[in-house]
Amino acid sequence: MQSGMNPWSSNQTVDVDRLFAEFGIEPIGEVVQRLPEVPPFMRRGVVVGHRDYQVVADAIRNRTPFHVLTGFMPSGLPHLGHLMVMKEVVWHVQQGGNGYVAIADREAHAVRGISWEKCREFGREYLKALYALGFRGTTYYQSKNERLKDLAFEASTKVNFSDLAAIYGFGPETSLAHAVSVATQVADILFPQLDAGPAPTVVPVGLDQDPHLRLTRDVAHKFRMFTVEDRGDYISVRSKNAPVEALEAVHRAFPGSKKYSGHVDIMGRPYALVDDTAREIEIAHGGFGFYLPSSTYHIFMPGLQGGKMSSSVPESLFGFYEPDTSVRKKVMAAMTGGRMTLEEQRRLGGEPDRCSVYLLNLFHMLEDDEEFADLRRRCESGEMTCGQCKKETWERVQAFLVDLRDKMDAVEHLADEV
C-alpha cells in the first residue's frame, strides 16, 4: 500500500477527493448539525473532513467529557499558517474540551535537525500565541514528558517497519530517530486519555497529518483487550488479548450473560453501558481502554502571493512579531482576483474565489458573517477596488496583530512555566 501522502514533504498538494475515497475520511457535512454552535472554520468550508467527529460533537452538545489535542513542530517561528489549527484547539477548549498541546521537539530535532535550544526558543513562541488566543489546558515539550515517552515505547510494540514503510514510505535510509518521533506523535495523540482518563479525543490537523491519525487509531485498536459489537439481539464482548480473568469479570458484571471461549454475549443491556463496563474492566486489568482518536481536517490557506504558503517563501506569510511595514507591504502586494483595468473591475467585478486577500479574510480577519458577505458582494459587484480592499484588510491585520502581540507579551509567564 502506498500512503500517497508524506507529512514531511515541503510541497504539499493533497487531493481531497482521493483522500476521502481511499482512506475513509468523512466529509464534514452532516456532523456539524450536531453541534450547538457552528464555528466559522466549519461554516466557511475550511474544515473539510473528519474521522469519528460525531462522538466529539455529541460530547460538546451533551456536555460530557472530551479531550482536544494538537501538536506543533518547533522548526521555526509560528506564523499565519499556524493560526487556523490554534483557533480550532481554542474553540474546542471553549466548548468544554480538556485541552492539550504538544511541542514536537523530538520531531523537529529528528527530522529537521533543530537544536534542543532552538526547539525551546521556538516552542515558547507557539505556546505564547496559543495562550494569547485563549488556550487553557496542558502543554508540554515531548522531550521533557516522561510518561509520554513511556507511552511512545509501549506504542512501538504495536508498530513494525512494514507499517512505517506502507504509511510513510520509510526505507532503509530512514533514521531510527525519525521512527521514534512517529511513535512519539502516536503517544501525543493518546496522551490526554492516559493523563486524564479515556474519553473521546479530537485532533484538529491539516490533511497532511492524516497518516499519523491512521497509525494511532490502529495502535489504539491493538491496545484494546476487547471488541464490543452490537449484534442486534445481543451485545458481544470479544476478547482480543484479554487475560482470562478480565473476560470472566465481564461475565460477572452482567448476570445472565453467556460466556463462551473468547467471548461473552450480553442480552437486554444498552450498548453504551456494556462498552463502558468493558473499558473499566480492561483498565482494572492493566489495559489503557483508549477510545480511537477522532480528527478534523482543514485545508491550507494558499500563500499571500498566490503560490503555496511556506516559511521558505517569506512573501507568502507573515510572522506574529513581524514589523508593520513589512506585513503591510506583503498584504498590499498580495495576489488578488482583480481585473486588468479599473474599468473592467467596475464592469465585471472581482473574482474573490481566486483572491488571496479574500481568503485571508475568510480564514482569519473577518469573523462576522454579515461583514464577510458584504465584502464578497462589494467585490463581485465591482463597487470596491482591490486597492481599497487591501487597505481595509491591512487595517484588520494590523489591529489583529497589535492585539495578539499585547496578549502574547502578557502570557509570557505561562509559556515559561511549561
Binding site for ligand TRP (CB under 6 A): 7, 70-73, 102, 104, 107, 185, 188-189, 203, 205, 209
Contact partner, 205, from ligand SF4, ligand TRP, none, Cβ < 5-8 Å per class: ligand TRP
CB–CB of 53/31 below 8 Å? yes
Instruction: Report d(CA 213, CA 129) in Å as an integer.
Output: 25
Nearer to ligand SF4, 253 or 357 (CB): 357
Contact partner, 384, from ligand TRP, ligand SF4, none, Cβ < 5-8 Å per class: ligand SF4
Is residue 366 exposed (0-12), middle (13-18) or buried (19+ Cβ within 10 Å)?
buried
Nearer to ligand TRP, 59 or 104 (CB): 104
Nearer to ligand TRP, 145 or 239 (CB): 145
**Sequential DSSP letters for 253-308:** HSTT-EEETTEEEEESS-HHHHHHHHHHHHHHTT---PPPPEEEEEPPPPPTTSS-
Instruction: Report d(CA 180, CA 245) in Å as an integer.
Output: 34
Q: How far is the CB of 185 from ligand TRP (least distance, A)?
A: 4
Instruction: Report d(CA 92, CA 57) in Å as an integer.
Output: 10
Contact partner, 105, from ligand TRP, ligand SF4, none, Cβ < 5-8 Å per class: none
Nearer to ligand SF4, 195 or 351 (CB): 351
Q: What is the residue whose three cell numbers read 474521522? A: 51
DSSP 3: -
Do the bridges between strand 138-141 and strand 234-239 make them parallel or antiparallel, or are there none, so unpaired?
unpaired
Contact partner, 80, from ligand TRP, ligand SF4, none, Cβ < 5-8 Å per class: none
Instruction: Report d(CA 97, CA 89) in Å as an integer.
Output: 9
Q: Which long-range contacts (CB under 8 A, 24 or more apart) does 26-34 make?
A: 26/50, 26/51, 26/53, 28/53, 28/296, 31/57, 32/57, 34/58, 34/61
Contact partner, 336, from ligand TRP, ligand SF4, none, Cβ < 5-8 Å per class: ligand SF4
Nearer to ligand TRP, 104 or 304 (CB): 104
Considering only 86, 357, 365, 415, the residue that binds ligand SF4 (CB under 6 A) is: 357
Contact partner, 57, from ligand SF4, ligand TRP, none, Cβ < 5-8 Å per class: none
Q: Should residue 389 be labelled a site residue for ligand SF4 when binding is judged by CB under 6 A?
A: yes
**Sign, CA torsion 87/19/77/359:** negative
Q: What is the residue whose three cell numbers read 467596475? A: 346
State the number of binding residues for ligand SF4 (CB under 6 A).
14
DSSP 240: S
Contact partner, 25, from ligand SF4, ligand TRP, none, Cβ < 5-8 Å per class: none
Contact partner, 102, from ligand TRP, ligand SF4, none, Cβ < 5-8 Å per class: ligand TRP
Residues 319-348: x where in contact with ligand SF4 by CB under 6 A, - otherwise, as a string: -----------------xxx----------
Instruction: Report d(CA 299, CA 295) in Å as an integer.
Output: 13
Q: How far is the CB of 156 from ligand TRP (least distance, A)?
A: 15
Do the bridges between strand 294-298 and strand 201-206 make them parallel or antiparallel, or are there none, so unpaired?
parallel
Nearer to ligand TRP, 72 or 297 (CB): 72
Element of type H or E holding 408: helix 386-410
Q: Should residue 355 be labelled a site residue for ligand SF4 when binding is judged by CB under 6 A?
A: yes
Q: How far is the CB of 371 from ligand SF4 (least distance, A)?
A: 13
Instruction: Give the footprint of ligand SF4 on this chain (CB under 6 A).
Output: 336-338, 350-352, 355, 357-358, 379, 384, 386, 389-390
